[in-house]
Amino acid sequence: MHAQTLPRETPTVNVAAHVTRIAKERPYAPAIFYPNGHDARGRVRYTHYTYRQLDEASDNIARGLISIGLEPQTRVALMVRPSLELFSLVFGLFKAGLAPVMIDPGIGLKKMKSCLAKGRPEAFIGIPTAQIARLVMRWARGSVRTVITVGSRGPWGGMTLDEIERRGARSSAPLPTVDAADLAAILFTSGSTGAPKGVVYSHGNFAAQVEAIRRMYDIREGEIDLPTFPLFALFDPALGMTTVIPDMDPTRPAKANPLKIANAIDDFGVTNMFGSPALLNTLGRWGEREGRKLPSLRRVISAGAPVPAHVLRRMRALMADGGHVVTPYGATECLPVASIESREVLGGVDLEGTGARTEAGAGVCVGTPVPSADVVVIAIDDDPIADISKAEVVPTNVVGEITVCGPQATERYWEAPPQTRRAKIADGGRTRHRMGDLGYLDEAGKLWFCGRKTQRIQVADRTYFTGKVEGVFNAHQNVFRSALVNVSGRPVVCLELEAGCVMPPTSELRALANQHEATAGIERFLQHPSFPVDIRHNAKIRREELGAWATER
């Protein structure tokens, strides 16, 4: 069936079909606003796509790519900055049944080359800078046969995106249908806790993600979203939202200008915002300092790392009384798994917040598993597990490894059998993903996160977990954040202090540690000026790097 003839009630596994449907129902509704310079007063100017324009542009790209011989499931490296072209390209690739290979540009040139060597893309679509880097760094030299430049073509040849769109506009070729199991994309992890891996997404995975997010947060078509993480922005058209791309460097969310973020929210009446904990921390502190309110903002979604209670409080203070700050839990390989709302963490008059238990060493509550996620916690095992029958399911409130089964859970890594064997478990015809995270389910069915499996520290008969230990020290009034690291088999806690605060005496920190079972026996503490963090969200602490620093001291 042609993608554009799908009626509303017909289910589809191709998320691009949502764009086509909305383009028919609300053709003049704005789909995307993108910052395009500044006016004489310094105010941000925007260019935009309506849903009809986005649908037509992505249709033309899809037919143009098909016309030059790209067949369904062809892997296409995509290196384009956040822009209108990025949106039309992604949905054009989906409509053509092609599989974008997407790599976080912040991982560095060496890792970028490694990812492209693993992904072996057959086509390369990129801006001129990316094309030059491809030639100089010899990226995917043995696999790329088709080159398309977004912008002016250089001496590397190939075609431009404009030429592809013109070819597509002249074509009436039908667009292919896709099956749920078909390859939809390869998304490389950031490699913040190891080498980047190519996560294989099927069209069924994407469709399940979109539906789970829509239901979990009751997202309505016509809402206005400010996504400060580019990949999350690509969900917006499938959810029927209007996207406002903020005027910021998406690779440095902690450095975003909060005034620009707030002005964009006010100018467009933004109702939904996605931001990393680091960005929300910057925005919330600014709002508290300036006495600013953002009354249109009804929902804030944050992911990438646990969100500290002080960040939740400040963001809630920015919003209207009915506003929600929600934190989905998951990973590139499986998202969403669970979700929690700020009121559950902070508590209230008639509700004890989970944050109090976090401060006592219970770990971080990540909420109730979503209906489509079958969560099972198994005994900690560092070896591959071929079948779920070989795993031991642990009782309630016992820490183990979190595993998830469901339509949003991916089944394998791209051409990486050893990594796939370590991360996947056969479960009665389904594939269960091992999150690599430790945690437990409590008596109420809520999921608690206790840290990465590889970052636990075993000392005699005691195990220290990052998520449990850090919750205790993060509660200290002088501490901005803490990190448990391994120094020659001994637990050491590194502390990054709040601005203007001094390092607490070691005796005080030891006394705090001995008040809680999760931290009892920890005796060594080091002050660090600014923790190294992940490149994607600027929030996930790179504990291995921090541990090497601590070892030198």
| pLDDT tens track for 222-235 | 999 999 987 889 99
Instruction: Give the integer Cα–Cα distance in Å for 44 and 328.
Output: 31
In this prediction, residue 12 carries a pLDDT of 67
Give me the residues paired with residue 451 across strands. 438
In this prediction, residue 43 carries a pLDDT of 85
Instruction: Give the integer Cα–Cα distance in Å for 382 and 438.
Output: 12
In this prediction, residue 227 carries a pLDDT of 95
Instruction: Give the integer Cα–Cα distance in Å for 196 and 151.
Output: 29
Question: Any idea of the CA torsion for 440, 445, 448, 453, to the nearest 10 degrees?
Answer: 30
Instruction: Give the integer Cα–Cα distance in Å for 147 and 79.
Output: 12
Sheet holding 146-149, edge to edge: 159-160, 146-149, 123-126, 75-79, 99-102, 183-188, 198-202
Q: Are 88 and 58 in contact (CB under 8 A)?
A: yes
In this prediction, residue 230 carries a pLDDT of 78
Domain 3-204, CATH class in plain words:
alpha beta
Q: Collect contacts of 504-508 with beta carbons under 8 A, ≥24 apart.
A: 504/476, 504/478, 504/479
Confidence of residue 535 (pLDDT cuts 50, 70, 90): confident
In this prediction, residue 352 carries a pLDDT of 75
In this prediction, residue 4 carries a pLDDT of 39
Tens of pLDDT, residues 339-361: 999 999 998 655 678 999 999 99
Count of CA atoms in the C-beta half-sphere (13 A) of 485: 26
In this prediction, residue 2 carries a pLDDT of 36
Match 């935009």 to its residue by tokens: 48
Is residue 474 pLDDT above 90, yes or no? yes
User: Per-residue pLDDT averaged across 70-92, rounded?
Assistant: 96
In this prediction, residue 51 carries a pLDDT of 98
In this prediction, residue 292 carries a pLDDT of 95
Instruction: Give the integer Cα–Cα distance in Å for 386 and 463.
Output: 26
∠292-298-304 over CA atoms, to 5°? 90
In this prediction, residue 92 carries a pLDDT of 98
In this prediction, residue 350 carries a pLDDT of 58
| Element spanning 89, H or E | helix 84-95
Instruction: Give the integer Cα–Cα distance in Å for 426 and 422.
Output: 11
Q: What is the DSSP letter of 52?
A: H
User: Per-residue pLDDT averaged across 395-419, rounded?
Assistant: 97
State CA 48 to chain mean position distance: 25
Question: 457-552 maps to which CATH number?
Answer: 3.30.300.30
Amino acid letter for position 124: F
Instruction: Give the integer Cα–Cα distance in Å for 548 and 488.
Output: 10
| Element spanning 401, H or E | strand 400-405
The better pLDDT of the pair 105, 404 is held by 404
Tell me the H-state helices in 170-276.
Answer: 203-217, 230-233, 236-239, 258-268
Q: Collect contacts of 428-431 with beta carbons under 8 A, ≥24 apart.
A: 428/388, 430/405, 431/405
| Element spanning 527, H or E | strand 524-527
415: number of Cβ within 10 Å: 13
User: Per-residue pLDDT averaged across 130-146, rounded?
Assistant: 95
What is the pTM (predicted TM-score) of this model?
0.93
Mean pLDDT over the full length of the chain: 93
Tens of pLDDT, residues 482-530: 999 999 999 999 999 999 999 999 999 999 999 999 999 999 999 999 9
Instruction: Indicate the burial class of 39 (C-beta count within 10 angstroms; 0-12, 13-18, 19 or more).
Output: exposed
Structure tokens of 318? 């920015």
In this prediction, residue 9 carries a pLDDT of 37
In this prediction, residue 19 carries a pLDDT of 97
| Element spanning 110, H or E | helix 109-119
Confidence of residue 5 (pLDDT cuts 50, 70, 90): very low
- Domain positions in the chain: 3-204, 457-552
Q: What is the DSSP letter of 454?
A: G
User: Per-residue pLDDT averaged across 58-70, rounded?
Assistant: 98
Tens of pLDDT, residues 145-189: 999 999 999 999 999 999 999 999 999 989 999 999 999 999 998
The better pLDDT of the pair 196, 442 is held by 442
